Structure 1
Amino acid sequence: METGSETIAQLAARLGREFAAGAQQADETDSFVAANYAALKDAGLVEAAVPAELGGRGAEIGELCDMIRLIAHGCSSTALAFSMHTHQVAIPAWRWRHQKLAVVEPLLRRVATERIVLLSSGGSDWIGGSGKAEKVEGGYRITARKVFTSGAAAGDILMTGAVLEGETPPKVLHFGVPMKAPEVSVADTWRTLGMRGTGSNDVVVDGLFIPDAGVALARNAGEWHPLFQIIATIAFPLIYAAYLGVAESARDIAVEMAGRKPANPHAISLAGRMDTSLRAAQLAHRHMIATVEENAPSAETVNETMIGRALVAEHAIKAVELALELAGGAGFYRAAGLERRFRDVQGARFHPLQQGPQAAYAGSMALGLPVDKVF
């Protein structure tokens, strides 16, 4: 696909419109949006977050969020799955720019030149870690089942970790898993309420050898590490850009459908409440981006990011609920696209930090209490 002089936002908007045609079929058949990933590669968006000096497009966090959000207007699943690759590139790109970390350069160059797709196993690899790492000669033997691995079928490297046995306190080792290794398989488990086209299947790792040199980090399990402060601060504006895009597209559909009928006070009120909720989500998301742009990840930026994440989730979900009500009975039909967006936006509830831990983190920060083990 020729990119020409299109900006990243223009590319994303155009692709989003193209992806819309197949979004319903992917939803109805639980099919991974593989063709859309091919289009994203052809458009050069796989390397959007790679610094320009390393062969990428050098996009900053705000541009990347717009990319994900605009893709979501057409296909929620593509946007959410692609946000997982995008944040796995944006994090080492940030470390290259701001920490001058040379070790990330080979990976970033591979993304730019080979257009490899990075996977994240999301919540299953959160602060507590998951999976088992057994120390063997020259490295570690890994056994794990990584759930919620969005885009698993299209991935080249799974950025993941495992808990090292026999250590006190328990340690989590971080490394990349080559998806083509014979010890790695994808289990077809993704049958869900929404975001059905993300292909977020389980990845099973059965006895994979990771050499000592392949371990990028060892950290204490169950405690916030500075790297996870970077991850949380940068990743979640990208992930929640997908849900914001879902809410924006639901709003537009509802306004178009409501415009076919004479206005009445009830519809006018619903439209006003819907736009108010959507604006709240948009403003909260802008705050998340502004937090990244401080370029100083810390316990405080995690708090601000997670407050933003909670507000985007709450108000995006509310905006879509109101959109469905504004559209009326016609919106209940699957062909309208609203009920799919209603289901897709529910996924905003389930990423870390979920409602309870987020409130505990924010409350602990407010009262000057430790947050190093709040997750």
Structure 2
Amino acid sequence: MTVLDAISTPTTLAEKAKILGSAFEDRAQALDDTDTFAAENFADLKAAGFLEAGVPAELGGGGADIPELSLMLRTLARHCGSTALALAMHTHQVAIPAWRWRHQGVGAVEPLLRRIAAEKLVLVSTGGSDWVGGGGDAIPVEGGYRIQARKVFSSSAPVGDLMMTMAVLRDGDGGDQVLHFAVPLRSPHVRLEDTWHTLGMRGTGSQDVLIDGHVVPEAGVSLRRPAGQWHPVFQVIATIAVPIIYSAYVGVAEGARDAAVVLAKRHPNAHTIALVGRMDTELMGARLALQGMLDVIAENAPAADSVNRVMMGRTLVARHALAAGELAMEAAGGAAFYRRNGLERRFRDLQGARYHPMQAGPQAEYAGRMALGMEVERVY
């Protein structure tokens, strides 16, 4: 019986993730050792219905809500952080239009959601390289825009179908606009560069994607917004995306904790026992911060305030997850230094939590300005 056969009977999304996770953990070290994208894992996720899990059931998807998607990612990340983070980058690109369809009545997103469900599309996010400021150039041509851009941190690019991205339409008078659109990754004007050789999360396939002359038709532009400042739609994006992404890091920290406990049980002493207790305390902090972010989403009121609270949660998740990982390494002792034990990989994977927006400096400025009643439109 294959791992997919094992999840063929009705189970929750998290239960399916736990079953798949055991197979993913068997593959995780080899992916890490060779900087190889988790293609086999993604094939299993695709076959098991994880790609369309966040699409509303009315549109042919799995109908999972955001807390279910978060738990799914946490569960997978206990076993393979790279697979979970790459899936999180797809999942938040599904959850955002699903939320807009359900809570804002935005019908324009329905065709995309139906395509994800029917075709099991993999969406690639470029938010890490674009964020609020946008990146790349949109050059006006007849009927649309020619795109010239390099998009970094493009997770799951090797198997991606559509890149959900943006570019800047330059205006010499200072009125630059960011255009949002999708680019087919199989376009002859798109190519990948093998740049993803990193400290951690080595199996995410987050290669650089070069867009060299692909033309986006005028009708393909889904959003225009002023460059370099927050827009109401981007407040939706930030509020929903960040908790989904950081669910993966909480799961990695949980996996590190479990691995450390196994190793620490070999020769427990008073010092080790205290380290394990401190580790679990830090992990509780990460879990509580993640739950706080999910609670913000549940309010269904994206705005500057929701961005502020989610980003404070993002900082706290990163802080506590990183601390838990450090304590896991120390509690496990010298055994943690061996790759075969899987703990140092998780420690390295956790370091990625430092780098997603908003990083510590902008986040603190945003929170401080909110507290003092100052403008935050250009803080990101």
Coarse TM-score class (shorter-chain normalised): over 0.9
Query: Which residue of the partner structure matches residue 143 of structure 1?
Result: 148
Deviation at 1:165, TM superposition (A): 2.2
Query: Which residue of the partner structure matches residue 25 of structure 2?
Result: 20
Alignment-mate amino acid for residue 304 of structure 2: A
2:87 & 2:69 partners in 1: Cα distance? 11
Query: Which residue of the partner structure matches residue 183 of structure 2?
Result: 177
Alignment-mate amino acid for residue 254 of structure 2: E
Whether 1:122 and 2:127 are equivalent positions in the alignment is yes
Query: Which residue of the partner structure matches residue 186 of structure 1?
Result: 192
Query: Which residue of the partner structure matches residue 46 of structure 1?
Result: 51
Of 295, 298, 317, 2:300 maps to 295
Of 133, 139, 144, 1:134 maps to 139
Query: Which residue of the partner structure matches residue 256 of structure 1?
Result: 262
Alignment-mate amino acid for residue 297 of structure 1: P
Query: Which residue of the partner structure matches residue 229 of structure 1?
Result: 235
- Over the matched positions of the two proteins, sequence identity in percent amounts to 61
Query: Which residue of the partner structure matches residue 284 of structure 1?
Result: 289
For residues 36-77 of structure 1, the C-alpha deviation after alignment (integer angstroms, 9 at most, x for no partner) is 000000000100000000001111110000011100011000
Deviation at 1:138, TM superposition (A): 0.7
Deviation at 1:331, TM superposition (A): 1.1
Equivalent position SS for 1:192: coil
Deviation at 1:6, TM superposition (A): 1.4
2:327 & 2:168 partners in 1: Cα distance? 44
Deviation at 1:268, TM superposition (A): 1.3
Deviation at 1:125, TM superposition (A): 1.4
Query: Which residue of the partner structure matches residue 344 of structure 1?
Result: 349
Query: Which residue of the partner structure matches residue 211 of structure 2?
Result: 205
Alignment-mate amino acid for residue 71 of structure 1: L
Query: Which residue of the partner structure matches residue 37 of structure 2?
Result: 32
1:206 & 1:57 partners in 2: Cα distance? 36
Query: Which residue of the partner structure matches residue 219 of structure 1?
Result: 225
Query: Which residue of the partner structure matches residue 77 of structure 1?
Result: 82
Deviation at 1:4, TM superposition (A): 2.2
2:365 & 2:217 partners in 1: Cα distance? 38
Query: Which residue of the partner structure matches residue 163 of structure 2?
Result: 158
1:4 & 1:213 partners in 2: Cα distance? 42
Contact 1:17–1:73, Cα closer than 8 Å, also in 2: no
Alignment-mate amino acid for residue 353 of structure 2: A
For residues 136-178 of structure 1, the C-alpha deviation after alignment (integer angstroms, 9 at most, x for no partner) is 1111111100000000011000000100022632101000001
Equivalent position SS for 2:78: helix
Which runs of 5 or more structure 1 residues have no equivalent in the other structure? none
Alignment-mate amino acid for residue 225 of structure 1: H
2:61 & 2:175 partners in 1: Cα distance? 40
Of 332, 336, 339, 1:331 maps to 336
TM-score by length of structure 1 reads 0.99
For residues 300-343 of structure 1, the C-alpha deviation after alignment (integer angstroms, 9 at most, x for no partner) is 00001000000000000000100110000111111111110110
Deviation at 1:121, TM superposition (A): 1.1
Alignment-mate amino acid for residue 93 of structure 1: A
Alignment-mate amino acid for residue 214 of structure 1: G
Equivalent position SS for 1:233: helix
1:86 & 1:209 partners in 2: Cα distance? 26
Deviation at 1:122, TM superposition (A): 2.4
Of 294, 315, 320, 1:315 maps to 320
Equivalent position SS for 2:213: strand
> Stretches of 4+ moved more than 2 A in 1?
1-4, 165-168
TM-score by length of structure 2 reads 0.97
